[in-house]
Amino acid sequence: MRLISRTGATAVDDNGKHYTAADDLGSFDFPEDVGARLHSFHAGGKPLWETQIEQQHRLIGEEAERRKDPATLLTAVEALVAAAKSTRPAEPVAPAARTAPKANPARVTAPAPAK
């Protein structure tokens, strides 16, 4: 069972066995019995260990809550305005001079017949 520590654990010792976090997400590959036991641990009503799917759901929920906050939107807009003020406006580019299309020498038109 693959679990991710919500406390930042990098190693776990359980019944004389040592488990270290994988490099990818700090996740651990535990045997089913150890993983099920650790997965049930909570502190303050919050789980100490979560699966990758539970982590994704939690992060999506936290991001949705963060985006609901008007202060967050105001902070983001202020950062954009500050960034826009700190950049120099781009130099205008002169439009290219229009040139008449070149005649196609392979295409010759006959003069219109006289009436």
3-state secondary structure 41-80: CEECCEECEECHHHHHHHHHHHHHHHHHCHHHHHHHHHHH
pLDDT value at position 108?
59
Task: Classify the C-alpha dihedral 19-49-53-58 as positive or negative.
Answer: negative
At 31-89, the pLDDT tens digits run 999 999 999 999 999 999 999 999 999 999 999 988 888 888 888 899 999 998 888 77
| Residue 3 vs residue 76, higher pLDDT | 3
pLDDT value at position 80?
92
At 104-114, the pLDDT tens digits run 666 656 666 66
DSSP type of residue 40: T
| Residue 57 vs residue 95, higher pLDDT | 57
Q: Which residue has tokens 């609901």?
A: 68
pTM higher than the cut 0.75: no
| Residue 90 vs residue 63, higher pLDDT | 63
